[in-house]
Chains A and B, each alone.
Chain A
């Protein structure tokens, strides 16, 4: 069968990717610019025997998804800034109780109601630190429509493998733009499923190797009769206030993500080998940046592009290596320097970092990034 190209919207590609990964449950609440995801799930899930529900708010949405995931189903929700803020407490709940879950945050200009139909990337820190307390979370950032499919699919694999909430961080541009895409044949895809115990005998829901081990996960309703609580808990899932229990759980959860980092890290790079001016970006800002880098290269400037696709855990070594020969690092992003903070922390061989923040609700034009590159050449 010739794999036919399709003109597809980013939000649609996220949904198709989720369906290809075996999505069985979607609970959400309408919010621009993510609503197309909910609409398509409402249409597609019944066809595959899946369930869709529009809850009364975003808190109910993520709570229902966690319930469905505990019942053994692959679950997802999608939202934008204001809804993502409402979801934070339960996101932390899913982190501590280690419930697989995928959340798509289609960023829009904030804070507050902001500019609902305008793009932004200012939820980056919120995606990592939005909920209270140290907690494991993994954040992927598609840079085009095809990656909406690929990274949403991958988000489910990661969530199922590591029993962790995974956030797919897109923005209004990536979510709403349409591109020609050729998607893989679903028959060839092997979505992963959480490792389950063989039998209820002696099942300990949170027993795992302290060095980042992932416990086996039993679905509700199959005779395991296990307990899930948002309180710190011991290996049998029983609430515990013991300090050593807390310390052990906290460090195992953190270590889980540390160990996953090198295995899931993904990025796009171009002409970095001899790059003296390195542009580091993600999502839609990276589209304009790449265009600017290529223009500068054509004019003989040693510019290079690094586009991150795994935002958290942050790829420190990758950024440090990419910028090790740089005289200047430029970080174009639609916020006031959230990615730049991490890039500076990762260290760029001492190269100064230009925070190229755009916060007027518009996408970067390539010439804006180009001007910053040429500025650095002087």
Chain B
């Protein structure tokens, strides 16, 4: 098998995603980034929530955790803080991450805990067949927005940056080489990294919004974005209404679990000759 496939639980393939769904492309991109960095498969934990995108971890040959809807980052925080030496990655969808999981998302970013979060944003709830999500563009359709979505959607990268994430980037399932590069950089950032991957959901979003099948959707996605580097030298009308792709924020800061380990060392020095155990702490706690 190709070296890429060696990172998969092949006995579980082919996967459940619809023909032309972008989740497979993003999953492949994550694996290729892991491959480039030659990460030790035994020291990587990949955590996901609930939704089409979150089924990805079941196919990947690592310690994988398919958790409750919206809670992947909270589970991942537990793993990372308990075992900082493990590389912890979260794979989540736009609904899983920004709707029910929004609270955990902004707090994980705020803490700058070393977790790489891949948000596979198909602008819709796919698993439950087509409801609109916090990332569905205003005016577009979902089964629960039959007259057009009234709500404004997040700019997920601005949200992550404002919450405190130290690496933020966006790409799409069309711009795959860029996506792989960005994920690779995110994995190397010692802190909270978020890569938003805009992907196509031909089955629900494509049909419901009459964008078309996988190919038409990829073209639609391509036309809706502009590279942040190119944008600087483009006339405003060329950039207006388009989402920026590329590396959008990269400002390393002290990492949560590293700070906690320092705290432990300092505390244990303070209690010199501390033998721990029951009486050790009981007497100290008075």
Q: Determine whether the beta carbon of B66 is less than 8 Å from that of A220.
A: no
Question: Closest Cβ of chain A: how far from B48's Cβ, in Å?
Answer: 9
Residues of A within 8 A of B81 (CB): 25, 51, 53, 64, 68
Residues of A within 8 A of B50 (CB): 230
Residues of B within 8 A of A75 (CB): 78, 82
Q: Determine whether the beta carbon of A47 is less than 8 Å from that of B77.
A: no
Among the stretches A108-116, A120-128, A158-166, A221-229, the one at the interface with B is A221-229
Q: Determine whether the beta carbon of B268 is less than 8 Å from that of A47.
A: yes
Nearest residue, chain A, Cβ from B86 = A221
Partner of A231, one of B42, B66, B264: B66
Cα-based distance from A360 to B77 in the complex (angstroms): 40
Using known A-B contacts A40-B285, A47-B276, determine if residue A63 contacts B67 with beta carbons closer than 8 Å: yes
Partner of A6, one of B9, B45, B282: B282
Question: Closest Cβ of chain A: how far from B69's Cβ, in Å?
Answer: 9
One digit per residue, 1 when the CB lies within 8 angstroms of any chain B CB and 0 when it does not, for chain A 69-107 equals 111110100000000000001100100000000000000
Question: Closest Cβ of chain A: how far from B186's Cβ, in Å?
Answer: 20
Residues of A within 8 A of B64 (CB): 225-228
One digit per residue, 1 when the CB lies within 8 angstroms of any chain B CB and 0 when it does not, for chain A 221-259 equals 111111111110000001100000000000000000000
Residues of B within 8 A of A61 (CB): 74
Using known A-B contacts A55-B77, A67-B76, determine if residue A221 contacts B271 with beta carbons closer than 8 Å: no
Q: Determine whether the beta carbon of A46 is less than 8 Å from that of B264.
A: yes
Q: Determine whether the beta carbon of A71 is less than 8 Å from that of B86.
A: yes
Using known A-B contacts A24-B82, A46-B263, A72-B82, determine if residue A60 contacts B279 with beta carbons closer than 8 Å: no
Query: Does B79 have its Cβ within 8 Å of any Cβ on chain A?
Result: yes
Q: Determine whether the beta carbon of B77 is less than 8 Å from that of A60.
A: yes
B 65-93 contacts with A by CB, 8 A: 65-68, 71, 74-83, 85-86
How would you classify the secondary structure of chain A's contact residues: helix, strand, loop or mixed? Answer: mixed
Using known A-B contacts A90-B68, A221-B43, A225-B42, determine if residue A67 contacts B78 with beta carbons closer than 8 Å: yes
Cα-based distance from A48 to B279 in the complex (angstroms): 12
Query: Does A168 have its Cβ within 8 Å of any Cβ on chain B?
Result: no
Using known A-B contacts A59-B74, A183-B278, determine if residue A220 contacts B58 with beta carbons closer than 8 Å: no
Question: Closest Cβ of chain A: how far from B260's Cβ, in Å?
Answer: 6
Nearest residue, chain B, Cβ from A3 = B279
Query: Does B249 have its Cβ within 8 Å of any Cβ on chain A?
Result: no
B 29-77 contacts with A by CB, 8 A: 41-43, 45, 47, 50, 55, 57-58, 61-68, 71, 74-77
Q: Determine whether the beta carbon of B276 is less than 8 Å from that of A25.
A: no
Using known A-B contacts A43-B285, A47-B268, A228-B65, determine if residue A19 contacts B71 with beta carbons closer than 8 Å: no
Query: Does A185 have its Cβ within 8 Å of any Cβ on chain B?
Result: yes
Question: Closest Cβ of chain B: how far from A256's Cβ, in Å?
Answer: 22
Query: Does B284 have its Cβ within 8 Å of any Cβ on chain A?
Result: yes
Query: Does B103 have its Cβ within 8 Å of any Cβ on chain A?
Result: yes
Partner of B42, one of A44, A48, A185, A223: A223
Cα-based distance from A220 to B263 in the complex (angstroms): 24
Using known A-B contacts A59-B71, A221-B83, determine if residue A16 contacts B78 with beta carbons closer than 8 Å: no
For B68, B82, B86, B107, the residue with the greatest tally of chain A CB atoms inside 10 Å of its CB is B82
Question: Closest Cβ of chain A: how far from B279's Cβ, in Å?
Answer: 7
Residues of A within 8 A of B41 (CB): 225
Cα-based distance from A93 to B76 in the complex (angstroms): 15
Query: Does A316 have its Cβ within 8 Å of any Cβ on chain B?
Result: no
Q: Determine whether the beta carbon of B63 is less than 8 Å from that of A224.
A: yes
Nearest residue, chain A, Cβ from B61 = A225
Number of residues of chain B lying within 8 A (CB) of chain A: 51
Partner of B77, one of A64, A70, A73: A64
Query: Does B267 have its Cβ within 8 Å of any Cβ on chain A?
Result: yes
Query: Does A157 have its Cβ within 8 Å of any Cβ on chain B?
Result: no
Nearest residue, chain B, Cβ from A60 = B74
Residues of B within 8 A of A48 (CB): 276-277, 280-281
Query: Does A65 have its Cβ within 8 Å of any Cβ on chain B?
Result: yes
Query: Does A56 have its Cβ within 8 Å of any Cβ on chain B?
Result: yes
Residues of A within 8 A of B284 (CB): 44, 47
Query: Does A66 have its Cβ within 8 Å of any Cβ on chain B?
Result: yes
Q: Determine whether the beta carbon of A64 is less than 8 Å from that of B65.
A: no
Partner of A68, one of B63, B71, B79: B79
For B62, B104, B107, B279, the residue with the greatest tally of chain A CB atoms inside 10 Å of its CB is B279
Q: Determine whether the beta carbon of A19 is less than 8 Å from that of B278.
A: yes
Query: Does A138 have its Cβ within 8 Å of any Cβ on chain B?
Result: no
Cα-based distance from A40 to B9 in the complex (angstroms): 43
Query: Does B12 have its Cβ within 8 Å of any Cβ on chain A?
Result: yes
Q: With contacts A48-B281, A67-B47, A228-B64 known, what are 15 further pairs, Cβ within 8 A?
A: A19-B281, A24-B82, A40-B285, A47-B267, A48-B277, A57-B103, A64-B81, A72-B82, A73-B82, A73-B83, A189-B278, A221-B43, A225-B64, A227-B58, A230-B67
24 A-B pairs with C-beta separation under 8 A: A12-B285, A16-B281, A16-B282, A19-B277, A24-B82, A43-B285, A56-B107, A60-B104, A63-B68, A63-B74, A64-B81, A66-B78, A68-B81, A71-B83, A75-B78, A89-B68, A90-B68, A93-B68, A221-B43, A225-B41, A226-B63, A227-B57, A231-B66, A239-B58
Q: Which of A's residues lie within 8 Å of B, judged by CB?
A: 6, 12, 16, 19-20, 24-25, 27, 40, 43-44, 46-49, 51, 53, 55-57, 59-61, 63-73, 75, 89-90, 93, 183-187, 189, 220-231, 238-239
Q: Considering the complex of A and B, which 3 residue pairs feature the smallest CB-CB distances, nearest first? A: A67-B78, A64-B78, A186-B278
